[in-house]
Structure 1
C-alpha cells in the first residue's frame, strides 16, 4: 500500500498551487478512497464514547463535532505531516506576494513548536456528524497568533446514498463586491485543500487579501460524516 507521504509527493503540486492561487480551493478526487473514508467514519461512535477524541460538542447548526488531540490517529497524522511540507511553500509564496515578512518553517514539527510558544496547544482537527436538518454555518479557523493559511477537508460518507443535501460551500468576499459562493462537489473519499481565511487576489492595482469562509449546507436526509484537518492549533 502506498504510504501517505509518497502519495502526497506524487500529486501535481504545480497544478494544485495554480488552482489555489486562482480560486482559494482545490479538489483532490479520491484522495482517501472509499475504504479509508469508511474506516475514518467508523471512528465516530468511538469518539462519542471518548475514545480517540479529547472534546466533543455541537457547533451552531446542531452538527456533532469531535475534536482530536494534537496527536492525531493514523493515518491523519501522516497526512498532516506530508501535506504541510508542500503547502508551506505555497503559504510562503502567498506571504511574499502580499509583502508579508513572516515565513512558515519547512516542517510541521517546527511550526507546531511555534504554536506552543504562542500558547496554542489545543488540536483543531475534527470529525463532524450531521443528521437531518443539521448544518455547519459559515466560519473560519483563524484564531491565534500562529495561523496556517491552508487546511484540508474530506467527505467520509457518500452523497445520494448515505445522505442528501449537505453540500460543502465556500464564500469569498472581495472589497466593494458581493460575496462569491462556491460549491465543492465532494464525493465519498474526496478531499479538498482550502484557504483557511484569506488568500492573495490580483486586482487592477496589484495584489490584496480577500476573505474566505466555509460551511456545510443543511442535510435533508440521512447522515453526513466529514473531516476537517487543520495545520495550526488553538489557544
Structure 2
C-alpha cells in the first residue's frame, strides 16, 4: 500500500474543519478489510500490557517498538506533516508560543531529549466483557494534540458492543458524549487531550477531551492507536 497516495488524496480542508468543529474527523475505508485484518494479526508478536494493571479498564494493549515497522512509520511521518499546521493553529488559538516542527523527526527528538522514550502506538485487543476506560494520552512536556485510531475488526461479525466513545468537557457545561461509527478499516483523527473552541464572545477557550471503548458484549475487537509523541 502506498501511504503517500492515500494521505495526499484525503480532503484536508474538510478534515481540518471537522477537527475544529467536533474534535475528530472520520476517515472511512482508511484500510481495506485485508489490510486491517493483516495489521491486527501483529498483536501476537508485540509487547503486551494489561489494561487492568494500568487502571485503564480490562483487556490488553500490544505496543509497537519505538521504530515503527512499515507502513506505520510512513503513515505517522506523512500524517504528522499534514497535521502540524493544524496543531500550530490550535496552539495559536490557545495562546501558546510553542510551535510544532514541520517534520516528525525533530519533534520526536525533542521529546526524547526530555525523557519521553516510551512508544505509545499500540494495538488494543478486547474480548467479551473487556473495555477501555475514559482516558487521555498526554503525559510529558512534548505532546502532539492529535492522534489516529482505526478499527481492525468488523462490528456485528467479529464482535458486538465495543463502540469508540469520546467525551468533551467544556467549562461550566455538562460533558458532551460522542460515539464514532467506525467499521472495519475505518479510521479517525481525534484530539489527544485538548482543543480550542470559539465562544459566543468570539474568544477561544480550551476544552478537554477523553476517549474510551465501551464494553465488548461478545467476540473479539482489535483496534489501532497511532500516536505522534512518546511517553515518559
Alignment of 1:1-235 (within 5 A): 1=1, 3-47=2-46, 53=47, 55-59=48-52, 60-205=56-201, 206-235=203-232
Deviations 1:70-128 (A, max 9, x none): 11122111111110001001000111112211000000001101111111111001101
TM-score (norm 1): 0.95
CA–CA separation in structure 1 for the residues paired with 2:59 and 2:151: 15
Q: Distance in 2 between matches of 1:27 and 1:151?
A: 12
What is the distance in 2 between the residues matched to 1:95 and 1:150? 12
| 5+ residue gaps, structure 1 | 48-52
Partners of 2:25 and 2:112 lie apart in 1 by: 29
The worse-fitting range, judged by mean Cα deviation, of 66-75 and 15-24 is 66-75
State the 4+ residue runs in structure 1 displaced beyond 6 angstroms: none
Counterpart secondary structure, 1:223 = strand
Question: 2-side partners of 1:173 and 1:61: how far apart?
Answer: 21
How many pairs does the alignment contain?
A: 228
Structure 2 length normalisation: TM-score?
0.96
Structure 2: stretches of 5+ with no match in the other structure: none
